[in-house]
Amino acid sequence: MDAEIIAVGSELLLGQIANTNAQFLSQELAGLGVNVYYHTVVGDNRERLSDAIAHAQERADLIIFSGGLGPTKDDLTKETIAKSLGRELVYDEKAMEAIEDYFRKTKRVMTENNKKQALVIEGSSVLANDHGMAPGMALEAEGKKYMLFPGPPRELKPMFLNYGTTYLQKGFHTREHIVSRVLRFFGIGESQLETKILDLIDAQTNPTIAPLAGFGEVTLRLTSKSSTSEEAYRLIDSLETTILSRVGDYFYGYGDTTLENEVFKRLLDSGRTIACAESLTGGWFSKTLTDLSGSSGVFNGGIVCYTNEVKENVLKVPDTVLEKDGAVSEACAKALAENVRELLGADIGISFTGVAGPDKSEDKEVGTVYIGIAEDGAPVRVHSLLLAGGRGRIRSQTMKHGFFQLLKAGGR
């Protein structure tokens, strides 16, 4: 099955936003074993959209559209597709009810043009929109499949994951169940991880293994097909066990999770609190943890000790440590972790000190990093790293290593 993704919206052609919908859909379709051969972006223009549809019909079996399902005159995706297929638009009752319900709940007045959003292409399966008003659609015509999704990513993504994939799997693999699972790794490079499982990658048929690297992390997407979903899951479970027996030390979670999410869950489960002392990360660890709603239950606070004076006066790092070992040292990381834990009254203290660059500091190389973790009843552990890359990468990797070490400390 060959697919083309057509994004409709002048805001894309003006460069106001990037086409992240095509990226998301491509990733998901790859996981389902669908080949994506083209992305097209076209503006809110009937003639050029018709042209794009005609080209796609020549070269794809599955055409997925994003955008142009809203209430205004600009939004003309479904009208144009319907016309190209010689079909009518009809009101979908459920969609209409959902729209009326939305306006009732938000106590806003529904203008007439909002009804337009409940119009769907005749003969299509409606994909419910759980995060907005415009429903999606899926249909088949002349041997080709068409799927229509709203433009906002927060509406498109759950619609595709919850309803789109089911439709696709039902349709073109009538006797096949496709199961996909993403394993997330940190602290190992893509090529290093690949080397350790190269025989598995070379021999892959079912399940398939798709590695992907980004933002200092590596993921493996395992995808299996079988006539029953039980068997498909069994195949994935078995492959996962083999993979983790080799690189389990770097594994930290499944699917869309993040390092901070896993740490947050672990802290919540154990009822423990954390505090941090940040030098080179400058508040990034705190910021990332407090991005999570509910983090006040596990996070007491932090000290960004960017200067030696703050390390000494506020965090009571002994001046002998700063003079002899320096601020970028195991001894300093140790003192920072212990003292921030005590000062902020937390169960765990974590500290970050190092050289983010661009210049050396205290004659220590750019990328030299120490992370201290102090826990009640255990000696302080200090992890030393030598990170490559520019200032931004060194800081973000340091922050992520902190979360990763907290997970390891929990004894996975």
Nearest-angstrom CA–CA distance, 71 and 133: 9
Nearest-angstrom CA–CA distance, 56 and 49: 10
Tell me the torsion sign for CA atoms 12, 212, 402, 270.
positive
Considering the complex, what minimum distance in angstroms separates the CB of residue 402 from a second copy?
13
Nearest-angstrom CA–CA distance, 317 and 334: 9
Tell me if 82 sits within 8 A of 148, measured CB to CB.
Answer: no
CB of 12 or CB of 134, closer to a second copy: 12
Q: Which of 13, 15, 20 is nearest to 5 (CA)?
A: 20
CB of 148 or CB of 305, closer to a second copy: 305
- Strands 136-141 and 125-127, how do they pair? antiparallel
Considering the complex, what minimum distance in angstroms separates the CB of residue 386 from a second copy?
19
List CB contacts of 258: < 8 A, sequence separation 6 or more. Answer: none
Nearest-angstrom CA–CA distance, 100 and 74: 22
CB of 190 or CB of 237, closer to a second copy: 190
Tell me if 348 sits within 8 A of 373, measured CB to CB.
Answer: yes
Considering the complex, what minimum distance in angstroms separates the CB of residue 171 from a second copy?
21
Tell me if 197 sits within 8 A of 209, measured CB to CB.
Answer: yes
Considering the complex, what minimum distance in angstroms separates the CB of residue 20 from a second copy?
5
Provide the CA 314 distance to its chain's centre, in angstroms. 37
Q: For the stretch 100-138, what's the b/e string if a residue is b when 16 or more beta carbons lie within 10 angstroms of its beta carbon?
A: eebeeeeeeeeeeebebbbbbbeebbbbebeebbbbbbb
CB of 25 or CB of 119, closer to a second copy: 25
CB of 62 or CB of 118, closer to a second copy: 62
Considering the complex, what minimum distance in angstroms separates the CB of residue 48 from a second copy?
6
What is the torsion angle, in degrees rounded to the nearest 10, for the CA atoms of residue 196, residue 201, residue 207 and residue 212?
Answer: 80
Q: Which of 338, 334, 340 is nearest to 353 (CA)?
A: 334
CB of 37 or CB of 91, closer to a second copy: 37
CB of 25 or CB of 69, closer to a second copy: 25
Considering the complex, what minimum distance in angstroms separates the CB of residue 97 from a second copy?
26
CB of 28 or CB of 92, closer to a second copy: 28
CB of 161 or CB of 378, closer to a second copy: 161
CB of 92 or CB of 278, closer to a second copy: 278
CB of 139 or CB of 184, closer to a second copy: 184
Considering the complex, what minimum distance in angstroms separates the CB of residue 14 from a second copy?
5
Q: Where are the alpha helices (H) located in 69-203, listed in sequence order?
A: 77-85, 93-106, 153-159, 165-172, 190-196, 198-202
SS3 177: strand
Phi and psi torsions of 199, nearest 5°: -60, -35
Which residues are at the interface with a second copy (CB under 8 A)?
12-20, 22-30, 36-43, 45, 48, 51-52, 55, 59, 212, 214, 276, 278, 281-287, 289-291, 293, 295-296, 299-307, 309-310, 313-314, 343-345, 357-358, 391-392, 395
Considering the complex, what minimum distance in angstroms separates the CB of residue 281 from a second copy?
8
Cross-strand pairs, 140: 145
List CB contacts of 358: < 8 A, sequence separation 6 or more. Answer: 366, 390, 391
Considering the complex, what minimum distance in angstroms separates the CB of residue 316 from a second copy?
12
What does the chain come to in residues? Answer: 412
Considering the complex, what minimum distance in angstroms separates the CB of residue 103 from a second copy?
19
**Beta carbons within 10 angstroms of residue 155's beta carbon:** 21
Considering the complex, what minimum distance in angstroms separates the CB of residue 16 from a second copy?
6
